[in-house]
């Protein structure tokens, strides 16, 4: 069983993803199965500035970065998340505070990669059971 991995250059989820300074979108495929691991964070305010108390600073309740996993659907040449197919699991999915001096983007990269590992195992499990 071969699982392919491709980094896609846009935020995979979150309607304000274009305002996020951090965006990862990883497509995993195996046979007919395709899923996307998406991480977004470090959102700019509505004027393109660093967040402040007067503007958005969280992308969700008490978090400034988040990772989500969805089934994927193909639209022309591109794969996008299927919002009707969220895949929940036991992986770190949120970072509460941005701290550029401590390298929060690196922590978000690590969080994303751990979710990719979890999703890869998820695909293996699903494909192993389909062959029984």
Confidence tier at 63 by pLDDT (50, 70, 90):
confident
14 by DSSP, 3-state: which? coil
How confident is the model at residue 48, as a pLDDT? 56
Rg (CA), the chain: 16
Cβ count near 34 (within 10 Å): 18
Domain edges within the chain: 4-130
pLDDT at 30 over 60: yes
Query: 63 has which bridge partners?
Result: 60
Q: How far apart are CA 19 and CA 59, in angstroms?
A: 10
pLDDT in tens, 69-119: 999 999 999 999 999 999 999 999 988 877 767 778 889 999 999 999 999
How confident is the model at residue 1, as a pLDDT? 79
Average pLDDT, the chain: 83
Confidence tier at 47 by pLDDT (50, 70, 90):
low
Q: Among 20-34, 46-60, 89-103, which stretch is predicted with the lowest mean pLDDT?
A: 46-60
Q: How far apart are CA 93 and CA 126, in angstroms?
A: 21
Q: Per DSSP, which regions of 44-118 are E strands?
A: 65-75, 78-86, 94-95
pTM for the full predicted model: 0.83
């Amino acid at each position: 069983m071969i699982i392919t991995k491709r980094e896609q250059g846009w935020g995979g989820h979150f309607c304000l993803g274009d305002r996020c300074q951090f965006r990862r979108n990883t497509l995993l495929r195996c046979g007919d199965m395709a899923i996307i691991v998406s991480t977004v964070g470090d959102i700019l305010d509505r004027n393109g500035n660093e967040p402040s108390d007067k503007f958005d600073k969280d992308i969700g309740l008490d978090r400034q970065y988040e990772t989500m996993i969805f089934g994927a659907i193909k639209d022309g040449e591109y794969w996008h998340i299927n919002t009707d197919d969220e895949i929940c699991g036991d992986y770190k999915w949120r970072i509460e505070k941005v701290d550029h001096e401590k390298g929060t983007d690196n922590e978000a990269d690590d969080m994303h990669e751990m979710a990719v590992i979890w999703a890869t195992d998820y695909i293996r499990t699903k494909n192993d059971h389909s062959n029984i």
